[in-house]
């Protein structure tokens, strides 16, 4: 037999040298860089997803905050309008010819209009508190038993 034949030789541990897998350094490093690239893309994707969730939560909180502020201003405008009605009541006790006016109550403003009706007065209070505006109209008549006390027989909030 010829020693130059292409039959595989055995290594010192008994394995055939032709059966060993190739350990090419360039292919191993390219696999590692692919793994690193995949991890980077995965981390960026997770970061974008969590950022989107965070942005959504922030926008919801801002919206809730704006709605709460508007609701508070709306309630304050109703109270300002009712304060204007109380002012008109006190002015009408002092002066039955009172026709209205403008009054600052807290941080809001109430514009009062008084017109004489049959058996009493129609009083309209239009109040502004920030961006909120409320208008209330009542019919007042004097209490027959106590001439210093008003009786509200009609109360309505007018929506604009």
Tokens of 140: 């007042």
Nearest to 122, CA basis, from 144, 103, 137 = 137
For 86-107, give the secondary structure using H, E and C.
HHHHHHHHHCCCCCEEEEEECC
Amino acid 21: pLDDT:
53
Instruction: Kindly state whether residue 48 falls inside one of the protein's structural domains.
Output: no
Amino acid 148: pLDDT:
84
Amino acid 147: pLDDT:
83
When divided into structural domains, the chain yields a total of: 1
Amino acid 32: pLDDT:
67
- Where residue 95 sits, what CATH number does that domain have? 3.30.1300.30
Helix, strand, coil percentages (3-state) for the chain, rounded to 5, are 45, 30, 25
Residues with pLDDT less than 50, the chain: 1, 3
Residue 142 is classified by DSSP as: E
Instruction: Kindly state whether residue 29 falls inside one of the protein's structural domains.
Output: no
Instruction: Kindly state whether residue 12 falls inside one of the protein's structural domains.
Output: no
Question: What's the count of helices (H) and strands (E) in the chain, helices before strands?
Answer: 1, 5
């Amino acid at each position: 037999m010829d020693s130059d034949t292409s039959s595989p030789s055995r290594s010192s541990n008994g394995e055939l040298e032709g059966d060993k897998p190739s350990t090419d350094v360039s292919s191993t490093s390219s696999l590692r860089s692919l793994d690193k690239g995949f991890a980077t893309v995965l981390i960026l994707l997770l970061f974008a997803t969590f950022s989107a969730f965070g942005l959504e939560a922030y926008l919801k909180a801002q919206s809730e905050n704006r709605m709460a502020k508007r609701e508070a201003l709306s309630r304050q405008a109703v109270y300002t309008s009712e304060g204007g009605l109380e002012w008109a009541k006190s002015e009408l006790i002092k002066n039955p010819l009172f026709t209205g006016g403008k009054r600052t109550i807290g941080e809001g403003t109430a514009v009062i209009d008084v017109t004489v009706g049959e058996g009493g007065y129609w009083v309209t209070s239009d109040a502004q508190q920030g961006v909120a505006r409320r208008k209330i109209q009542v019919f007042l008549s004097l209490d027959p038993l106590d001439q210093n006390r008003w009786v509200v027989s009609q109360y309505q909030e007018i929506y604009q």
